[in-house]
Chains A and B, each alone.
Chain A
Amino acid sequence: MSEERDRRSALDLLERHVEHGKRPGDRYVRIVRPREFRRRGPGYVVAGEEVLAPEGRVGRVGDAMRRFLFGARIPSEHEIHERVGIIKGLAVFASDNISSSAYATEEIMRVLVLAGVGALTLTMPITLVIVAVLAIVVASYQQTLRAYPNGGGSYIVASDNLGPFAGLVAAGALMTDYVLTVSVSIAAGDEALTSIFPELYPYRVALGVAFVFLLMIGNLRGIRESATIFALPTYAYLVAILGMLAFGLFRMVTGTLPAYQAPPAWRAAHGVEALGILLVLRAFASGSVALSGVEAVSNGIPAFKPPEWKNARVVLILMGTSFGVVFLGMGVLAGRLGIVPDPTEEHTVVSILTATLVGDGTPYHYFVQISTALILVLAANTAFADFPRLSSILARDGFMPHQFAYRGDRLAFSTGIIVLSLLAAGLIVGFGGSVTALIPLYTIGVFVAFTLSQSGMVRHWWKLKTLERGWWWRATFNGLGAVATAVVAVVVGVAKFALGAWMVLVLIPIMIAVMWGIGSHYRRVRDAMTLERPDPTLPKISPRVVVPVNRLDRSALRALAFARAIASDVLAVHVSETLEEGQRMRQRWERWAGPVPLAIVESPYRVLVQPLLAYLDALDEQEPGRTTVVVLPEFVPHHFWESFLHNQAALRLKFRLFFRRNTVVCDVPFHLDEAFGEASESAS
């Protein structure tokens, strides 16, 4: 009974001390448990934050900096508190889509104006088509959210219904697009900023990279906090732009719209191409960037507060409506005023429109421009919310390295966030921070993913046709979405192919191949490691223990003692450089007269590791398949920098032994301060 009690107390890390009270016969038991652990049940303890407390001054300073930058650690059980509602969810997941309204109209106009200022009359019809496609996509995704309430991103829907390869195609396409979302949004934000502060124009690449890293830090603080930080700019933009559009539309209705005259140089700079179908398609493709944010909401359902999928649906509808209103309003006013885009990209269409309506350099102009710059930068936040989530799902399914599934101190998928930041910063540097240079790479991926997702949904409803009433109209809706997005994907691919889209079309298959390769590797490892039915009796191993000994000292004796504790067949091996050294070692060993035999390997070429490994190989040949345990005596110095002065050979040996078959390596540490203590004791 007492033994059982002790065993259970040891499992729970509890100690029970019987104490005597003041009165005779009074006794009580003090249950002492380590501060670092909390007991959850019998034999089950939970490590507290105390185990992560840094040691040493440097560690404490580092920890304080980490807390300042990223905030306090959040335990996994608080995950539910880290979710977002509709208000913050709109800011996180819809900022990409809403912000697209700031540059989508301009991108259409920039393409159309290549055929002359007269071609700008096509801006409004193209805008209407894009809004119609957005309406179809949003309506189709409403079905997806309902069908996949735990997260219905394209990867999940496509893998579930069309097979893992289709899922990987969607994932590869989406991930490429998310990286581009960050680069394009930040480059566009840069552009909006340099519109009002032209002196910053030469530094736009450095500014872009700085913005990426600011977003990275914000996102590493966790989704709820990043949503809190980034919600204000999103709503400020909506207020600013809707206010400007309302004012403009009011003046249009009342017939008081001011006159706008584009600088003659801008008019002269355009009109170099003929207005053909390809140009119109290119304009449509450039404007379709606006649809890129829809996917993030469906993938990010688990980030919403309960009822998750219903909140996600509301966010999706609000997002589509906000974007549609702003995009249409911009198209109407830009068309009515006859705005011509600035060929130097120094002034954006939003800036020209606001300056015309409310006056150049007025506080409202600054308000619109600054809030536009902020939302454009923060639109990247949608990609920061979704890329790490998607990569974590892929890592969970074994198609990406497992590190991507790891949640950091703030429950954010840290690896995904860091990788996304590095890739996006690289693109900004590579393309000189130009939106127009980056835009052709953008949008293809997201439409490929939409198409696969919607096709998957058609299959999903087909599979449920006997269980789900109204399956046919749901399938029809998703089918319509699939066709619409497939057409856009083809149009975008064709129209932008020569402008750089080919790079994306090459990159996506490479990504698929890499993910497929990673998946095959993880599958092989899993198949090799998995037990069909665990054998309750463990396999019996009787190892041969080898202790490499350099000198017969305290650390060697401790290693030998440990070796004797785990096996009876123990052999010490000393590698000597000369005959004399070997003989000296032999004499010392015989004087010691311990229970362990010593083998001396002379190495006339003064090499330690290879002769020892060859000796182990020779031992193996005597008894093939027998496990060898190499017990390494190793002493640990006082300060970390002292370790550079010691154990280099042991380190090399450990590294080589790590890859050796049937070999177990044990380190027996001997702390230097312990050695000092023992030496002074024996001296006294």
Chain B
Amino acid sequence: MAYKKILVPLAGSAVDPDVVRLAVSIGKPAKARLYGVHVIEVRWNLPLDAVLDAELDHGEELLASAARIAAQSGGELETELLQAREAAAAIVDIARERQCDLVLMGMPYRRRLGRTYVSRTVEEVYLGAHCAVLAYRQEASQ
């Protein structure tokens, strides 16, 4: 299966570099366009378009770092910064708008109540996206 447009949501976790490299290697055969997206989640007591300086700086920083990693791996990552109430809904919408055929999600290895924890965002994108969703979970040792 050759993917032409791959969306890589980036949350700023330790798994991001691995996901970006994986996206580059998956996309390379079909020369896929790679989109990196970071969603700033805005609390309900603030307007949706509030200026959140710290979050904005963090988002810019992690997107720039992801673009650098993609370039080092031989790919090009187009980046986008969004603000939404819930990251998952925005990711699903942006994947549809960009007509992506794959959403590649990264999951840091975490355990809760004796089970491997899957975040709500991953779960909702998995359930809501129109296209294929691939979840990459970090190795347990990391």
CA distance A14 to B92 in the complex (A): 23
CA distance A565 to B18 in the complex (A): 55
Q: Indicate if the CB atoms of B81 and A33 lie closer than 8 Å.
A: yes
Please name all residues of chain A whose beta carbon is closer than 8 Å to the beta carbon of B83 when the two chains form the complex: 16, 28-29, 31
Contact with A along B75-107 (1 / 0, CB 8 A): 000001111110001101110110000000000
Please name all residues of chain A whose beta carbon is closer than 8 Å to the beta carbon of B139 when the two chains form the complex: none
Q: Indicate if the CB atoms of A8 and B90 lie closer than 8 Å.
A: no
Q: Closest Cβ of chain B: how far from A415's Cβ, in Å?
A: 31
A39's nearest neighbour on chain B, judged by CB, is B60
CA distance A22 to B84 in the complex (A): 13
Q: Indicate if the CB atoms of B53 and A27 lie closer than 8 Å.
A: no
Please name all residues of chain B whose beta carbon is closer than 8 Å to the beta carbon of A8 when the two chains form the complex: 51
Known: A21-B89, A22-B96, A38-B64. A27 touches B51 (CB 8 A): no
Known: A23-B89, A38-B64. A30 touches B82 (CB 8 A): yes
Q: Closest Cβ of chain A: how far from B65's Cβ, in Å?
A: 11
Contact with B along A21-44 (1 / 0, CB 8 A): 111001111110100001111100
Q: Indicate if the CB atoms of A27 and B81 lie closer than 8 Å.
A: no
A29's nearest neighbour on chain B, judged by CB, is B83
Q: Indicate if the CB atoms of B82 and A28 lie closer than 8 Å.
A: yes
- The answer to the question of B22 belonging to the interface, with a C-beta cut-off of 8 Å to chain A, is no
Please name all residues of chain B whose beta carbon is closer than 8 Å to the beta carbon of A9 when the two chains form the complex: 51
Please name all residues of chain A whose beta carbon is closer than 8 Å to the beta carbon of B51 when the two chains form the complex: 5, 8-9
Please name all residues of chain B whose beta carbon is closer than 8 Å to the beta carbon of A14 when the two chains form the complex: 56
Please name all residues of chain A whose beta carbon is closer than 8 Å to the beta carbon of B53 when the two chains form the complex: 41-42
Please name all residues of chain A whose beta carbon is closer than 8 Å to the beta carbon of B97 when the two chains form the complex: 19
Q: Closest Cβ of chain B: how far from A2's Cβ, in Å?
A: 9
Q: Closest Cβ of chain B: how far from A449's Cβ, in Å?
A: 44
A27's nearest neighbour on chain B, judged by CB, is B48
Q: Indicate if the CB atoms of A28 and B93 lie closer than 8 Å.
A: yes
- Most chain A CB inside 10 Å of its own CB: which residue of B39, B80, B93, B97: B93
Contact with A along B99-119 (1 / 0, CB 8 A): 000000000000000000000
B contact residues, range: 20 to 34
- The answer to the question of A52 belonging to the interface, with a C-beta cut-off of 8 Å to chain B, is no
Q: Closest Cβ of chain B: how far from A40's Cβ, in Å?
A: 8
Q: Indicate if the CB atoms of A39 and B48 lie closer than 8 Å.
A: no
- The answer to the question of A645 belonging to the interface, with a C-beta cut-off of 8 Å to chain B, is no
Q: Indicate if the CB atoms of B81 and A31 lie closer than 8 Å.
A: yes
Taking CB atoms and an 8 Å cut-off, the chain B residues in 34-58 that contact chain A are 39, 47-51, 53, 56-57
Q: Indicate if the CB atoms of A39 and B56 lie closer than 8 Å.
A: yes
Please name all residues of chain B whose beta carbon is closer than 8 Å to the beta carbon of A33 when the two chains form the complex: 60, 81
CA distance A1 to B39 in the complex (A): 23
Picked from B56, B57, B60, B84, the residue with its CB within 8 Å of the CB of A28 is: B84
CA distance A317 to B65 in the complex (A): 41
CA distance A1 to B47 in the complex (A): 10
CA distance A31 to B48 in the complex (A): 12
Taking CB atoms and an 8 Å cut-off, the chain B residues in 19-37 that contact chain A are none
- The answer to the question of A498 belonging to the interface, with a C-beta cut-off of 8 Å to chain B, is no
Please name all residues of chain A whose beta carbon is closer than 8 Å to the beta carbon of B60 when the two chains form the complex: 33, 38-39
Q: Closest Cβ of chain A: how far from B132's Cβ, in Å?
A: 17
Known: A28-B82, A29-B84, A41-B57. A16 touches B49 (CB 8 A): yes
CA distance A40 to B56 in the complex (A): 10
- Most chain A CB inside 10 Å of its own CB: which residue of B39, B81, B85, B97: B81
- The answer to the question of A18 belonging to the interface, with a C-beta cut-off of 8 Å to chain B, is yes
A45's nearest neighbour on chain B, judged by CB, is B60
Picked from B57, B80, B89, B94, the residue with its CB within 8 Å of the CB of A39 is: B57
Please name all residues of chain A whose beta carbon is closer than 8 Å to the beta carbon of B50 when the two chains form the complex: 5
Please name all residues of chain B whose beta carbon is closer than 8 Å to the beta carbon of A39 when the two chains form the complex: 56-57, 60
Q: Indicate if the CB atoms of B56 and A21 lie closer than 8 Å.
A: no
Picked from B47, B82, B92, B96, the residue with its CB within 8 Å of the CB of A31 is: B82
Name 12 A/B residue pairs within 8 A (Cβ), A-sorted.
A5-B50, A9-B51, A12-B56, A16-B49, A21-B92, A26-B89, A26-B93, A28-B48, A29-B48, A38-B64, A40-B57, A42-B53
Top 8 A-B residue pairs of the complex, sorted by shortest distance between their CB atoms: A28-B84, A29-B83, A21-B93, A28-B90, A31-B81, A29-B49, A16-B49, A39-B60
